[in-house]
Amino acid sequence: MPSKDGEIKMDFKLTEEQMEIKRAAREFAEKEFTPELALEYDQREEFPTELYRKAAKLGFTSMRIPQQYDGQGYGVLEECIVVEEFCRVDPGLGVAVSLGNLMVPDVLLKHGTDEQKEKYIPPLARGEKIAAAAFTEPEHGSDITRMDSTAVKNGDEWIINGSKQFITNAPIADTFIILCQTDPNATPPHRGQSLFLAEKGMPGLEATKLHGKMGIKPCVTGSLAMSDLHVSAKNLVGELNKGFYYALELFDGTRITVAAQAVGMAQGAFEKALNYAKTRKQFGQPVFNFQAVSFKLAEMAIKIETARLLTYKAAWTYDREKPNAVATSMAKAYASRVAMEVTDDAIQIFGGYGYLADYHVERFHRCAKITEIYEGTSEIQKLTIANFLAK
Amino acid sequence: MAEIFVLAEHRQGQLRDITFEMLTKARELAEKTNAELTTVLLGKNVKESAKNLTEYAKKVIVVEDEKLGSFNSDAYLKVLSTLIKEHKPALTIIGHTSYGVELAPRLAAAIGIPLATDCIDVAFEGDALAVTRQMYGGKVNAKAILRKSESYMVTLRQAAFQAQKPTAPMNGQILEVPSPLTEEITTKRFIEYVLPPPGGVDITAAEVLVGIGRGIKDQANLPLVEELAKSLGGVLACSRPIVDKGWLPSDRQVGTSGKTVKPKLYVALGISGAFQHVLGMKNSDLIIAVNKDPKAPIFSFSDYGVVEDLFKVVPPLKNKINELKSQKA
Amino acid sequence: MDVIVCVKQVPETAEAELKIDASGKKIEKTGLVFDINEWDDYALEEAVRIKEKFGGTVTAITVGPEDSDSTLRKCLARGADKAIRLTDPKFEGSDAFATAKILHSVIKTMHFDLILTGAQAGDDGSAVVGPVLAELLGVPHAAMVKKIELGEGKAVVNRELEGGLEERLEVKLPALFAVQTGINEPRYVSIMGIRKAMQKEIKVMRLSDTGLNESEVGESGSWLKIEKLYVPPVEKQAEFLQGSPDEIATKIVEILKSRGLI
């Protein structure tokens, strides 16, 4: 779809249904993610379990899960609309709540057995359980083509050993998928990786919470240690040695929602700055009257609008046609940069106050940074685009 | 001679303040238009009140009936429509109270005369009636004209007019009218009054009140303002939305549907100042309001105003007060 | 129980700065966010709870422009079964009385056990539509209702009086209740609700469908005609304390000290 000769299919109007989803998500977030709660969770670095359950009960966290598994049966675009609205109100709570059942339902829907789907997806869709996807390792961040974690077949079981790092939800998750090297001799090595399901409480599976993240603090992160973790052969997801491909596939969708997080964060900070510029008086007039400020806001608005269009286009393509890695990477790389720039500008407009936690924009800036890093850094996104251009 | 009707409002044997407020405004209108001022009193055993009212009107029409023993808008409607059809008053004034709100619109529709509700001013302009009322929660005033009619009806906002006695008692004549209610009212029946469960705190007795409104945003913020109230030696009070949300019990509510308070100090935090709240606290000795919106109506009723986020002002304020207190101690 | 809920879409003005438009008779609507009237929100919730408890249907009905659909969709998403929008250029300028007549023209053809309205609307604050509609329909009503207990052929309601006092009344059904805020806790719109709402139709009716004539609606069918809007004159203005939050706090402490309050 993104093409070198400028082909584009235009239909910029959200449907009435999508507008209703947007309104509902906004209303929920505005009433629930109060600035004070946001500040509190930003300091406590704790997952807002109650809030997650509440959002899940209303369907906000299972947009892409089919109704058959207690989800909502919508597409990536509808999910992006919710994520954007949540992050617009608060980036920390917004990310945490929208990532509660991260990736596990997606991968099971595509490759899981009926038994796995029925067992694991509905409780995640309903918000009763929390999921974590363990790909990254201490030695393998953006490059997951080789895993140090191993799974060795032993009768009806697999025995997993190794460790994972920077795993979203690891300390609180009930359901895990873990990417392991199952064929150490495969060449290239990524052809020898497989995905396994594991559950909290299994002997040999231990999570440790990570502290001191720069942003998205209510979204807890941790490391995972597997030492002689026994899982049943039934816990293998899909085919043996296909794990790497499954993981990559996931990113096509989740990366678009990261772009939506970035758009929401930028929008939220922008609105705060705009409001401040119109009410804050210096030299006898609102600072908005100074072009140095109003032009900055104009630029911010242009960037956000562009980022949103790229994001919605990637989502629309994913839903209507097929996942497109280039469209996805463009949206993520651009939107995350915009989030950094716009939240930075917002602080600047607030001046000294912007540097204070109480005025909330600095939190948006801290949170925005993650969107350039997780689910593939911006460099990885550019690599994807460059590879496409090279063809 | 034209006549102006004022419906006397009373409850549990007491004429309510709104009655005298309406009579004050009606007297002014009657003088200007050379009309006769009549007050209408419906009830059971209301002779005492009727006598009281003779000071304020030329005529006191009294209808007594068992069926008027407690307020019943259907009974009132029947009696009043008979009286209005017979007397054809140029204007009927009813209080914009819980009783008036239930009665007036239906009565006006039943008789077929135009009504303006919740008026803060009323004036005849020739034979037209002009009213002033508020819109958008008091942010905008509207001047409106009622459809031309020989008879008009208005409801007046509580406390919009200050009750005043006439310079000389009007020595009104009491006119006892037999009740036109021939049958039992079967559509609705009064059962009882319900008092809110007594809470631990009587805000009307407090010398210092910290009043909170929508601006408090979250129940989780209550401890912060509670601490401020404690530092000041006072207690928390609130506007309606806080009670609606269940964050504070209803006995903490200040305003028309809650308590009327007159503390030495009222600190209004995140209260916009809707008239329903203001009526309950505007006579406090000293009012300090904190609100983010510089145009919030509360600032028109306050001695001191702070245009700022309450969460930025309350912590340093609390600390400074505590510091001062510890120095003294 | 078949319940009809009358709703209205109004601008959210609590935290917005209002401007009066060039005509001087309306406020500038651009930039304002529109939503269901706060009182109607409680009425809708009460209706849905009654349906959930006793069965039956909930029909939401509004008189308003096309964009009131978003309020009706919200009602459908929260549990209403049917929605009716009464829209006609001739309805413009209708006050609460004319609006009650328009609602009546349609409701009189429908079956209902109960009609719920908000006690008032946040824009004009009239508190008129409910009781007038009840009169036109010839059913009993109660205003400022804080609690509804339904029984066989009757309901017991609590009405809010002043000063924290309430009164309990028994009212014959079918009846109309104009509900006060705080009667319940309105639920959020859920995604499941939106999906259901999108499958339901919003029935649109015009003047010609109501059996009313032109002179009965709009300004000519109204009790009230707005001559002008203006910003309320400020009778008294607070002395504003300026400075950083810290400086302001110091100033307040000084004031309190001087008054002997601390």
CATH code (residue A278): 1.20.140.10
d(CA A312, CA A303): 14
From A85, A137, A372, A375, active-site residue? A375
CA C246 vs CA A111, A284, B303, B313, C253: distances in Å: 59, 22, 20, 7, 11
CATH (one of 3.40.50.1220, 3.90.550.10, 3.40.50.1970, 3.30.1330.40) for B203-328: 3.40.50.1220
Q: C146 touching A, CB under 8 A?
A: no
d(CA A229, CA A206): 10
Q: What is the pLDDT along chain C (262 residues), one digit of tens a residue?
A: 999 999 999 999 877 888 999 999 999 999 899 999 999 999 999 999 999 999 999 999 999 999 999 999 999 999 999 999 999 999 999 999 999 999 999 999 999 999 999 999 999 999 999 999 999 999 999 999 999 999 999 999 999 998 888 999 999 999 999 999 999 999 999 999 999 999 999 999 999 999 999 999 999 999 999 999 998 887 678 999 999 999 999 999 999 998 888 8
Co-location of A273 and A382 in the same domain:
yes
Co-location of A120 and A252 in the same domain:
no
Structural domain containing residue A61: 16-125
Q: B217 touching A, CB under 8 A?
A: yes
Which DSSP helix (H) or strand (E) runs through C86? strand C82-86
Indicate the SS3 state at residue A221.
strand
Q: Exposed, middle or buried: residue A189 (CB in 10 Å: 0-12, 13-18, 19+)?
A: middle
Write the CATH number for A194. 2.40.110.10
Tell me whether residues A20 and C197 touch, CB distance under 8 A. yes
Q: C33 touching A, CB under 8 A?
A: no
A34 CB neighbours in chain B (<8 A) are 217-218, 220
Tell me whether residues A24 and C192 touch, CB distance under 8 A. no
How many domains are contained in chain A?
3
What pLDDT, on a 0 to 100 scale, did the predictor assign at position A98?
Answer: 95
* Cβ atoms within 10 Å of C27's Cβ, excluding its own: 18
Nearest to B137 among C14, C161, C234 (CB): C14
Kindly provide the residue ranges of all beta strands, DSSP E only, lying in B65-159, ordered along the sequence.
91-95, 115-125, 128-135, 140-146, 152-156
Co-location of A258 and A313 in the same domain:
yes
d(CA A192, CA A281): 63
> Does the residue A10 lie in any domain?
no
**Residue A141 or residue A163, greater confidence:** A163
CATH (one of 3.90.800.10, 3.90.230.10, 3.40.30.10, 3.40.50.620) for C3-221: 3.40.50.620
Residue with tokens 């100090």: B265
d(CA C190, CA A63): 11
Tell me whether residues C189 and A27 touch, CB distance under 8 A. yes
d(CA B293, CA B290): 9
d(CA B112, CA B76): 16
Buried b (16+ CB within 10 A) or exposed e, C52-91: eeeebbbbbbbbbeeebbbbbbbbbbbbbbbbbbbbbebb
Residue type, C180: Q
Best interface-test mutation with C: which of A32, A58, A69, A356 has the largest number of C CBs within 10 A?
A: A58
Share of chain B above pLDDT 70, in %: 98
What pLDDT, on a 0 to 100 scale, did the predictor assign at position C232?
Answer: 86
Co-location of A155 and A136 in the same domain:
yes
pLDDT, tens digit, 9 for 90 and up, residues A320-369: 888 899 999 999 999 999 999 999 999 999 998 899 888 899 999 999 99
CA C5 vs CA A162, A369, C204: distances in Å: 61, 48, 16
Cβ atoms of residues B242 and B222 within 8 Å: no
Cβ atoms of residues C250 and B320 within 8 Å: yes
Relative to beta strand C114-118, strand C2-7 is: parallel
Tell me whether residue A375 is one of the annotated catalytic residues: yes
What pLDDT, on a 0 to 100 scale, did the predictor assign at position A279?
Answer: 83
**Residue A60 or residue C164, greater confidence:** A60
> Does the residue A366 lie in any domain?
yes
Q: Which of A3-12, A116-125, A174-183 has the lowest mean pLDDT?
A: A3-12
d(CA B53, CA A102): 74
Cβ atoms of residues C177 and C114 within 8 Å: yes
Q: Exposed, middle or buried: residue B242 (CB in 10 Å: 0-12, 13-18, 19+)?
A: buried
Span(s) in chain B for CATH 3.40.50.620: 3-176
Co-location of A265 and A343 in the same domain:
yes
Q: Mention every residue, 6+ apart, whose C-beta is less than 8 A from residue C97.
A: B109, B114, B115, C128, C132, C221, C222, C223, C224
What pLDDT, on a 0 to 100 scale, did the predictor assign at position B251?
Answer: 87
Which of these three, A74, A101, A125, is where a domain ends?
Answer: A125
Which DSSP helix (H) or strand (E) runs through A182? none
pLDDT, tens digit, 9 for 90 and up, residues B203-214: 888 999 999 999
Indicate the SS3 state at residue B117.
strand
Q: Exposed, middle or buried: residue B48 (CB in 10 Å: 0-12, 13-18, 19+)?
A: exposed
pLDDT, tens digit, 9 for 90 and up, residues B265-304: 999 999 988 888 998 998 899 999 999 888 888 998 899 9
Co-location of A252 and A321 in the same domain:
yes
A89 CB neighbours in chain B (<8 A) are none
d(CA A300, CA A364): 14
Co-location of A119 and A178 in the same domain:
no
* Cis-peptide, bond into residue A91, ω within 30° of zero: no
What's the whole-model pTM score?
0.89
Residue A4 binned pLDDT confidence (cut-offs 50, 70, 90): low
Tell me whether residues B217 and A35 touch, CB distance under 8 A. yes
Q: Mention every residue, 6+ apart, whose C-beta is less than 8 A from residue C8.
A: C36, C37, C40, C62, C63, C64, C68, C71, C118, C121, C123
d(CA A104, CA A117): 10
Cβ atoms of residues B19 and B10 within 8 Å: yes
d(CA B136, CA B153): 22
Best interface-test mutation with A: which of C41, C74, C194 has the largest number of A CBs within 10 A?
A: C194
Nearest to C161 among B98, B192, B289 (CB): B98
Residue type, A364: F
> Does the residue A11 lie in any domain?
no
DSSP state of A356: S
Cβ atoms of residues B256 and B265 within 8 Å: no
pLDDT, tens digit, 9 for 90 and up, residues B148-182: 999 999 999 998 898 999 998 899 999 999 999 99
What pLDDT, on a 0 to 100 scale, did the predictor assign at position B329?
Answer: 64
> Does the residue A9 lie in any domain?
no
Best interface-test mutation with C: which of A15, A20, A68, A279 has the largest number of C CBs within 10 A?
A: A20
Q: Is C173 left (phi over 0), alpha (psi -120 to 50) or beta?
A: beta
Cβ atoms of residues B305 and C243 within 8 Å: no
Cβ atoms of residues B148 and B90 within 8 Å: no
Residue A3 binned pLDDT confidence (cut-offs 50, 70, 90): low
Buried b (16+ CB within 10 A) or exposed e, A121-158: bbbbbbbebbbbbbbbbeebbeebebbebbbeeeeebb
Co-location of A239 and A253 in the same domain:
no
Query: Count of CB contacts below 8 A, B vs C?
Result: 263
Tell me whether residues C182 and B304 touch, CB distance under 8 A. no
Cβ atoms of residues A266 and A307 within 8 Å: yes
Q: Exposed, middle or buried: residue B192 (CB in 10 Å: 0-12, 13-18, 19+)?
A: exposed
Q: Which chains touch A (3 or more CB pairs under 8 A)?
A: B, C
Tell me whether residues A58 and C194 touch, CB distance under 8 A. no
* Cβ atoms within 10 Å of A65's Cβ, excluding its own: 26
Tell me which residue of C127, C13, A388, A86 sits closest to B95, measured CA to CA: C127
Tell me whether residues B217 and A34 touch, CB distance under 8 A. yes
Q: Is residue B128 pLDDT above 70, yes or no? A: yes
CA B141 vs CA A389, B121, C25, C117, C233: distances in Å: 63, 11, 10, 25, 9
Residue type, A258: V
Tell me whether residues C142 and B188 touch, CB distance under 8 A. yes
pLDDT, tens digit, 9 for 90 and up, residues C127-154: 999 999 999 999 999 999 999 999 999 9
Best interface-test mutation with C: which of A23, A67, A80, A83 has the largest number of C CBs within 10 A?
A: A23
d(CA C103, CA C139): 14
Tell me which residue of A53, A54, A25, A83 sits closest to A266, measured CA to CA: A83
Which residues 191-220 of C are in CB contact (within 8 Å) with A? 191-195, 197-198
Q: Is residue B119 pLDDT above 50, yes or no? A: yes
d(CA A191, CA A146): 9
Span(s) in chain B for CATH 3.40.50.1220: 203-328
Q: C190 touching A, CB under 8 A?
A: yes
pLDDT, tens digit, 9 for 90 and up, residues A209-236: 999 999 999 999 999 999 999 999 999 9
**Is the torsion defined by CA of A237, A241, A243, A249 positive or negative?**
negative
Q: Which chains touch C (3 or more CB pairs under 8 A)?
A: A, B
> Does the residue A2 lie in any domain?
no
Query: Count of CB contacts below 8 A, A vs C?
Result: 48
Tell me whether residues C190 and A19 touch, CB distance under 8 A. no
Which of these three, A201, A220, A243, is where a domain ends?
Answer: A243
Tell me whether residues A21 and C190 touch, CB distance under 8 A. no
Question: What is the chain A residue with the closest CA to C188?
Answer: A28
Residue A25 CB-half CA count within 13 A? 28
Relative to beta strand A193-199, strand A175-181 is: antiparallel
Q: Rounding to the nearest 10 degrees, give the CA dihedral for residues C225, C231, C233, C236.
A: 140
Kindly report the CATH number that applies to the domain delimited by B3-176.
3.40.50.620
d(CA A38, CA A217): 10
Co-location of A277 and A354 in the same domain:
yes
Which of these three, A125, A142, A174, is where a domain ends?
Answer: A125
Please state the separation of Cα A310 from the chain's center in Å: 17
Q: Mention every residue, 6+ apart, whose C-beta is less than 8 A from residue C233.
A: none
What pLDDT, on a 0 to 100 scale, did the predictor assign at position A1?
Answer: 46
What pLDDT, on a 0 to 100 scale, did the predictor assign at position B297?
Answer: 86
Three-state SS letters, A167-181: EECCCCCCEEEEEEE
* pLDDT mean across residues, chain B: 93
d(CA C255, CA C43): 45
C189 CB neighbours in chain A (<8 A) are 20, 23-24, 27-28, 58
CA distance to partner chain A, nearest, from residue B196 (Å)? 28
